[in-house]
């Protein structure tokens, strides 16, 4: 009997609809930022249920976070609060602007930003908070927004994992923060290959982001090159960036967005099967969404409990030996050389994140997994922990 094929940690779900939309874009003659990127922005606002929202398509969530903070005038001398339990992109954009990062610990159960630690970390230089909705579970936004209001702080949500997730019954992206940024990277809940979306109710913020995403030019190429009158003139009003989303990428997004709820339901079903399959193991299953709310289930993060017969690294080795791809989310920023050394950080300063890091493994969870694939992962984890 031949061995089962390797089951990857993540795989995008691309159908005939996406392929046809991309082919249509190629045949249209307009492949960079143009009509489909604009349509994707409109469709995204409609998906969130409020077409008055300002949506700015960008080539990555990193770009979106950078643009949002730049538009909020974060700069040298300022400090921005970021959870240590995140990917470096959440923090690095603060440094792009010459500001400093204040890393704080997370809630031990959810691995989301802990409001108690946020309040304690606020100082005279604090200007903004960047919550991360870890794994697709919304952070405690009511508490974080209340803290921000009390202290006059800006809030930019890193929602790279959180489409579609809800907080207090409202979709992430429609809350009272200054901006929310989604990711459409290859392994995210919907994908454009590379890409992201900045969402805001602040018209001035959106206008600034649109200018800065394309070299600080006051008119984008689509407007100039499709004008019925000579449209070659433009003005550079700021030293901007190259952060625009192409129509080729937006074509994928247009069709992926139509499937977002179906994808979420399949991810939730896989998570439920994992919860059942791991119930008797020496492991801590992910925190569920509060009653009435929705978890996006971008990640399924299992944590080894005290008394587990192997450590995390051995578990990963056994899963790979069984042909199961997996990952670790994340190596906390306080353990990364740049952040550790710049801010003189120590693991003891972040007990919840550091303890979780040493125990956690992210398992495959994507819509294309069959029930057999899911059962194979369950059995491999059970075998590895016996």
Domains 16-258 and 260-384 share a fold: no
3-state DSSP helix/strand/coil % of the chain, to nearest 5: 40, 15, 45
DSSP assignment letter at 348? G
Q: How far apart are CA 207 and CA 195, in angstroms?
A: 19
206/192 Cα distance (integer angstroms): 21
Residue 224, pLDDT above cutoff 60: no
pLDDT at 225 over 70: no
**Active-site residue, from 188, 207, 258, 259:** 188
360-363 sheet: strands from edge to edge? 283-284, 300-304, 360-363
Query: The dihedral of CA 379, 271, 260, 88: what is its sign?
Result: negative
pLDDT at 62: 98
Instruction: Evaluate whether 105 touches 147 at the Cβ level (below 8 Å).
Output: no
Integer angstrom CA distances of residue 384 from 144, 153, 314, 337, 357: 39, 46, 9, 32, 19
> pLDDT band at 52, cuts 50/70/90?
confident
- pTM for the predicted model, two decimal places: 0.96
- pLDDT of the residue at 1: 39
Domain 16-258 grouped into CATH 1.10.150.120: no
- By DSSP bridging, strand 126-129 and strand 79-83 are parallel
Q: 3.60.21.10, 3.30.1050.10, 3.40.50.150, 3.90.1150.10: which CATH number matches 260-384?
A: 3.90.1150.10
pLDDT of 105 above 60 = yes
Q: What is the pLDDT of residues 317-338, one digit of tens each?
A: 999 999 999 999 999 999 999 9
Domain boundaries, the chain: 16-258, 260-384
| Residue entry with tokens 């993060």 | 301
- Indicate if 127 belongs to the active site: no
Q: In this predicted structure, what is the pLDDT of residue 222? A: 59
The Cα 133–Cα 158 span in angstroms is 7
């Amino acid at each position: 009997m031949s061995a089962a094929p390797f089951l990857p940690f993540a795989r995008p779900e691309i159908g005939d609809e996406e392929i046809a939309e991309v082919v249509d874009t190629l045949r249209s003659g307009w492949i960079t930022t143009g009509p489909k990127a604009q349509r994707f922005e409109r469709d995204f606002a409609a998906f969130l249920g409020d077409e008055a929202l300002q949506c700015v398509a960008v080539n990555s969530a990193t770009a979106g976070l950078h643009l949002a903070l730049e538009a909020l005038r974060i700069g040298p001398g300022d400090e921005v609060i970021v959870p240590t339990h995140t990917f470096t992109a959440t923090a690095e954009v603060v440094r792009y602007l010459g500001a400093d990062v204040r890393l704080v610990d997370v809630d031990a159960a959810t691995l989301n930003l802990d409001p108690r630690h946020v309040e304690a970390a606020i100082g005279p230089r604090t200007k903004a908070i960047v919550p991360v909705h870890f794994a697709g579970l919304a952070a405690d936004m009511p508490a974080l927004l209340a803290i921000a209001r009390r202290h006059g702080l800006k809030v930019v949500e890193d929602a790279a994992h959180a489409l579609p997730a809800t907080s207090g019954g409202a979709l992430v992206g429609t809350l009272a923060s200054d901006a929310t940024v989604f990711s459409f990277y290859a392994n995210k809940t919907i994908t454009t290959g590379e890409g992201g979306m900045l969402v805001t109710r602040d018209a001035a913020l959106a206008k600034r982001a649109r200018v800065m995403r394309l070299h600080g030019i006051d008119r984008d190429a689509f407007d100039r090159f499709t004008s019925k009158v000579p449209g070659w003139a433009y003005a550079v009003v700021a030293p901007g960036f190259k952060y625009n989303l192409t129509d080729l990428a937006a074509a994928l997004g247009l069709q992926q967005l139509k499937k977002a709820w179906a994808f979420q339901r399949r991810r939730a079903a896989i998570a439920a099967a994992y919860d059942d399959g791991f119930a008797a193991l020496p492991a801590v299953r992910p925190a569920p969404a509060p009653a009435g709310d929705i978890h996006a289930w971008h990640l399924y993060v299992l944590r080894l409990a005290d008394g587990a017969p192997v450590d995390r690294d051995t578990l990963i080795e056994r899963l790979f030996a069984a042909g199961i791809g997996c990952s670790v989310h994340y190596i906390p920023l306080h353990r990364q050389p740049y952040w550790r050394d710049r801010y003189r950080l120590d693991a003891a300063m972040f007990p919840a994140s550091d303890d979780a890091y040493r125990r956690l493994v992210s398992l495959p969870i994507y819509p294309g997994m069959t029930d057999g694939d899911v059962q194979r992962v369950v059995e491999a984890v059970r075998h590895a922990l016996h």
